[in-house]
């Protein structure tokens, strides 16, 4: 793990929803695994005050890419950054997705900002089904960003403007009708409500899987105890004990953690 | 490495420099050890330890604010027993004085904790009493009751141990100089100023608090001027040892506190943004001393002179 000042190589809009930013770091790139994240200090001033966590989207040699969406003040500032400007980046942090799932079939279920870590996983490992939930056609990723996925890519959109109309769970239910529960392994990342729906579908069928959670995070090093997730072993910091958790670790709903 | 003498002495304790950490802002896991050489710190301060384990508050517990953050962690910790069993042996290996921060719901808890930690004097060098966590229910205790409870807690700890005691006070106790005086009178050796200020932030889409506990403790640079003021006033009035805490992010911040007389400097929230903050602040203080021909930190400490403003 390292904490370095890096120079932005490129920072551009991919579509209506996502931006892609790249930089080089040998130290950070060499240990990176899908599901792990970077903790980025966007400005050296006090605004934004905290760092922001981003999943690895792509690692090629020393070059690292993140894919992000403007969700608030911090990411809005990040989107303004030009090539040549600098960022302070710490990583790789957190626990990655499980790599080996064979002989089971791997089903990735992604939604919104949950897309980048699963696309990175699909670049490194075989995926049988890659399901993506989006609001509408304008959020659909260009083919060039998806061509490395070895399995079947399926889209659902809320308004039906691309792929199947409805939530991504509609696609998942279709696939699960055809597959035996013991033959599949689900890995999901996206809004908590979506991941909870995926988990409900999986657990009703005794299907195993993992979810990468997205809790508000301050330190990223397991110290502040802010990004906690309720597990059968008590509240655990998602930055160091996650962000990827096995479905069986999680206690109660992901939607309202009390 | 430094040619500047940063040695700081308080009540028979010698610290190699004035830098410590704010309770609950510093890790003992390997992730943190990668960035920080614990043996370079002047003192190490633990997260609050309570008599029994505490699960903490519901989520969300933290939110970012302008130049600061709110937290309502709720003193999540594994309790005294686990601390004695697993953490004391860990700290015993580090040659840095250990300050253990403790909290209790009643005086009996403080007494129990102090007695147990007194037995670990080889490792534990001082106690910091958390008398001011804004995130733990106190049954709606009014100001007078709070004051009584604070003094009662200090008294029982004083009776239980001769370890130096620092009382960590809230900036919201009315006249802090007055209560600081009372706390010293009943046996505290010094004060930690300040704990967080109770604050609140609203999610404008959902029209609810951004913290499950509704309110949380505000920390970070946003509260630094308040902290500087309290350290200044208490040092001027009482001259007792003070651990300064509140928004120290840079060496410049630390030096402000030193000038108004702070003995130790607790770097807290800054660790969440930069795990190397303590090390960088330490280097920055040495540099400042070199730049200003200061050979011993005591030449800087308490060197505040209001007249300097007039003489320009």
CATH classification of the domain holding A55: 2.40.30.10
Residue of A135, A213, A127 lying closest to A168 (CA atoms): A135
Instruction: Indicate the residue of A50, A93, A226 with minimum beta-carbon distance to B61.
Output: A226
User: String of b and e for B45-83 (b: at least 16 CB within 10 Å)?
Assistant: bbbbbbbeebebbbbbbbbbbebbbbbbbbbbbbebeeb
Gap from B206 CA to chain A (nearest CA, Å): 14
CA–CA dist B297, B12 (Å, integer): 17
Q: Are B168 and B150 in contact (CB under 8 A)?
A: no
Assess B272–A contact: CB distance below 8 Å, yes or no.
Answer: yes
Residue A51 lies in a domain: yes
CA–CA dist B234, B194 (Å, integer): 11
Q: Are A245 and A210 in contact (CB under 8 A)?
A: yes
CATH number at residue A252: 2.10.240.10
CA–CA dist A135, A77 (Å, integer): 24
Gap from B310 CA to chain A (nearest CA, Å): 31
- The pair of structure tokens assigned to B83 is 């601390």
**What is the rounded average pLDDT of the residues A178-206?**
95
Q: Are residues A115 and A185 in the same domain?
A: yes
Structural domain of residue A14, as residue ranges? 2-93
Whether B260 has a pLDDT exceeding 50, the answer reads: yes
Scanning every residue of chain A, which has its alpha carbon at the shortest distance from the alpha carbon of B27? A223
Residue A100 lies in a domain: no
Place of tokens 């239910």: A173
Q: Which residues on chain A are in Cβ contact (under 8 Å) with B71?
A: 224, 226
User: What element of type H or E holds B249?
Assistant: none
**What is the rounded average pLDDT of the residues A53-71?**
96
Q: Are residues A130 and A59 in the same domain?
A: no
Q: Are residues A228 and A133 in the same domain?
A: no
Q: Are residues A84 and A11 in the same domain?
A: yes
**What is the rounded average pLDDT of the residues A182-192?**
96
**What is the rounded average pLDDT of the residues B175-186?**
95
The reported pLDDT for the residue numbered A3 is 95
The reported pLDDT for the residue numbered B306 is 85
The reported pLDDT for the residue numbered B312 is 56
Q: Which residues on chain B are in Cβ contact (under 8 Å) with A225?
A: 24, 56, 61, 73, 76
Q: Are residues A156 and A228 in the same domain?
A: no
B272/A257 CB distance under 8 A: no
- With bands split at pLDDT 50, 70 and 90, how would you rate the model's confidence at B143? low
Residue A98 lies in a domain: no
- With bands split at pLDDT 50, 70 and 90, how would you rate the model's confidence at B132? confident
CA–CA dist B286, B297 (Å, integer): 9
Residue A112 lies in a domain: yes
Q: Which residues on chain B are in Cβ contact (under 8 Å) with A49?
A: 64-69, 220, 273
**What is the rounded average pLDDT of the residues A168-193?**
96
Q: Are residues A10 and A64 in the same domain?
A: yes
- With bands split at pLDDT 50, 70 and 90, how would you rate the model's confidence at B173? confident
- Residue to substitute from A2, A218, A222, A251, interface B, most B β-carbons within 10 A: A218
Q: Are residues A124 and A208 in the same domain?
A: yes
CA–CA dist B172, B143 (Å, integer): 10
The reported pLDDT for the residue numbered B140 is 44
> Helices then strands (H, E): number in chain B?
12, 16
Q: What is the pLDDT of residues A113-128, one digit of tens each?
A: 899 999 999 999 999 9
- With bands split at pLDDT 50, 70 and 90, how would you rate the model's confidence at A1? confident
CA–CA dist B17, A146 (Å, integer): 54
Assess B188–A contact: CB distance below 8 Å, yes or no.
Answer: no
Q: How far is CA A130 from CA A55, A152, A183, A192, B145, in A?
A: 18, 6, 16, 18, 61
Whether A57 has a pLDDT exceeding 50, the answer reads: yes
pLDDT, greater one: B3 or A153:
A153
- With bands split at pLDDT 50, 70 and 90, how would you rate the model's confidence at B31? low
Instruction: Indicate the residue of B31, B56, B73 with minimum beta-carbon distance to A221.
Output: B31
The reported pLDDT for the residue numbered B246 is 97
The contacts of residue A107 (CB under 8 Å, 6+ apart) are A127, A128, A129, A131, A172, A175, A184, A185, A186, A187, A209
Backbone angles phi, psi at A106, to 5 degrees: -95, 125
CA–CA dist B67, B53 (Å, integer): 32
Q: Are A224 and B73 in contact (CB under 8 A)?
A: yes
Laid out side by side, the sheet with A244-246 consists of: A164-165, A152-157, A129-134, A105-111, A184-189, A208-212, A244-246
Q: Are residues A191 and A244 in the same domain?
A: no
Grouping H, G, I as helix, E, B as strand and the rest as coil, residue B177 is helix
- Residue to substitute from B48, B273, B278, interface A, most A β-carbons within 10 A: B273
Q: Are residues A114 and A176 in the same domain?
A: yes
Scanning every residue of chain A, which has its alpha carbon at the shortest distance from the alpha carbon of B68? A49
Whether A247 has a pLDDT exceeding 80, the answer reads: yes
**What is the rounded average pLDDT of the residues A225-230?**
95
Assess B274–A contact: CB distance below 8 Å, yes or no.
Answer: yes
Residue of B172, B175, B162, B230 lying closest to B199 (CA atoms): B172
The contacts of residue B225 (CB under 8 Å, 6+ apart) are none
- With bands split at pLDDT 50, 70 and 90, how would you rate the model's confidence at B2? low
B56/A235 CB distance under 8 A: yes
Scanning every residue of chain B, which has its alpha carbon at the shortest distance from the alpha carbon of A93? B31
Assess B73–A contact: CB distance below 8 Å, yes or no.
Answer: yes
Whether B30 has a pLDDT exceeding 80, the answer reads: no
B61/A3 CB distance under 8 A: no
Q: Are B80 and B113 in contact (CB under 8 A)?
A: yes
Strand B19-21 vs strand B264-267: parallel, antiparallel, or unpaired? Answer: parallel
Instruction: Indicate the residue of B24, B32, B76 with minimum beta-carbon distance to A221.
Output: B32
Assess A223–B contact: CB distance below 8 Å, yes or no.
Answer: yes
Residue of A176, A138, A184, A180 lying closest to A157 (CA atoms): A138
Whether B17 has a pLDDT exceeding 50, the answer reads: yes
Sign of the dihedral through C-alpha A196, A202, A204, A206: negative
Q: Are B132 and B195 in contact (CB under 8 A)?
A: yes
Scanning every residue of chain B, which has its alpha carbon at the shortest distance from the alpha carbon of A224? B25
The reported pLDDT for the residue numbered B311 is 67
Residue A99 lies in a domain: no
Q: Examine the fold and report which residue of A93, A116, A137 is the final residue of a domain before the chain moves on.
A: A93
Whether B139 has a pLDDT exceeding 50, the answer reads: no
Total domain count for chain A?
3
Q: What is the pLDDT of residues B198-240, one digit of tens each?
A: 999 999 999 999 999 999 999 999 999 999 999 999 999 999 9
Whether B33 has a pLDDT exceeding 80, the answer reads: no
Q: Are residues A113 and A202 in the same domain?
A: yes
Grouping H, G, I as helix, E, B as strand and the rest as coil, residue A29 is helix
The reported pLDDT for the residue numbered A252 is 85
Scanning every residue of chain B, which has its alpha carbon at the shortest distance from the alpha carbon of A52? B273
CATH class given for the domain over B8-57+73-197+220-311: alpha beta
Q: Are residues A118 and A208 in the same domain?
A: yes
**What is the rounded average pLDDT of the residues B121-127?**
97
Q: What is the pLDDT of residues A24-46, one digit of tens each?
A: 999 999 999 999 999 999 999 99
- Kindly provide the ipTM of the predicted complex, given to two decimals: 0.93
Q: Is A249 left (phi over 0), alpha (psi -120 to 50) or beta?
A: alpha
Gap from B62 CA to chain A (nearest CA, Å): 6
The reported pLDDT for the residue numbered B147 is 87
Domain boundaries, chain B: 8-57+73-197+220-311
């Amino acid at each position: 793990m390292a904490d370095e000042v890096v120079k932005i190589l490129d920072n551009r809009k991919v579509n209506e929803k996502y931006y892609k930013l790249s930089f080089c770091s040998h130290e950070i790139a060499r240990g990176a695994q899908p599901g792990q994240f970077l903790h980025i200090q966007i400005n050296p001033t006090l605004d934004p005050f905290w760092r922001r966590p981003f999943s690895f989207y792509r690692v090629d040699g020393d070059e690292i890419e993140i894919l992000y969406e403007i969700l608030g003040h911090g990411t809005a500032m990040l989107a303004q950054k030009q090539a040549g400007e600098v960022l302070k980046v710490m990583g790789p942090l957190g626990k990655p997705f499980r790599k080996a799932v064979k002989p089971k079939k791997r089903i990735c279920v992604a939604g919104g900002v949950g897309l980048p870590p699963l696309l990175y996983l699909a670049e490194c490992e075989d995926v049988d089904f890659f399901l993506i939930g989006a609001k509408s056609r304008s959020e659909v990723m260009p083919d060039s960003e998806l061509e490395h996925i070895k399995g079947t890519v399926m889209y659902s959109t809320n308004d039906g403007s691309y792929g199947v109309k409805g939530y991504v769970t509609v696609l998942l239910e279709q696939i699960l009708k055809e597959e035996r529960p013991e033959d599949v392994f689900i890995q999901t990342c996206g809004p908590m409500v979506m991941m909870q729906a995926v988990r409900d579908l999986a657990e009703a069928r005794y299907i195993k899987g993992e979810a990468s959670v997205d809790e508000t995070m301050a330190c990223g090093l397991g110290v502040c105890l802010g990004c906690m997730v309720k597990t059968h072993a008590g509240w655990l910091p998602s930055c160091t004990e996650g962000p990827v958790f096995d479905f069986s670790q999680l206690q109660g709903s992901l939607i309202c953690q009390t | 490495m430094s040619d500047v003498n940063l040695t700081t002495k308080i009540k028979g304790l010698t610290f190699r420099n004035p830098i410590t950490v704010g309770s609950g802002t510093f890790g003992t896991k390997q992730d943190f050890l990668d960035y920080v050489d614990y043996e370079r710190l002047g003192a190490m301060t633990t997260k609050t330890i309570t008599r029994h384990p505490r699960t903490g508050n519901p989520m969300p517990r933290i939110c970012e604010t302008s130049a600061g953050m709110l937290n309502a962690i709720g003193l999540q910790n594994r309790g005294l027993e686990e601390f004695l069993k697993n953490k004391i042996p860990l700290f015993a290996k580090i040659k840095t004085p250990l300050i253990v921060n403790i909290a209790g719901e009643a005086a009996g808890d403080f007494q129990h904790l102090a007695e147990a930690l007194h037995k670990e004097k080889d490792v534990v060098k001082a106690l910091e009493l958390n008398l001011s966590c804004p995130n733990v229910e106190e049954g709606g205790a009014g100001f007078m009751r709070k004051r009584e409870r604070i003094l009662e807690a200090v008294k029982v700890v004083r009776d239980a141990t001769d370890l130096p005691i620092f009382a960590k006070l809230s900036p919201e106790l009315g006249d802090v100089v007055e209560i600081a005086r009372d706390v010293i009178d009943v046996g505290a050796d010094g004060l930690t100023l300040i704990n967080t200020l109770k604050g609140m932030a609203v999610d404008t889409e959902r029209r609810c608090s951004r913290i499950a506990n509704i309110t949380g403790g505000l920390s970070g640079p946003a509260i630094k001027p308040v902290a500087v003021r309290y350290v200044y006033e208490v040092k001027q009035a009482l001259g007792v040892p003070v651990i300064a805490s509140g928004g120290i992010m840079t060496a410049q911040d630390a030096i402000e506190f030193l000038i108004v007389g702070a003995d130790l400097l607790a770097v807290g929230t800054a660790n969440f943004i930069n795990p190397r903050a303590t090390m960088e602040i330490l280097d920055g203080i040495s540099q400042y001393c070199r730049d200003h021909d200061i050979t011993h930190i005591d030449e800087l400490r308490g060197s505040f002179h209001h007249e300097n403003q007039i003489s320009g």
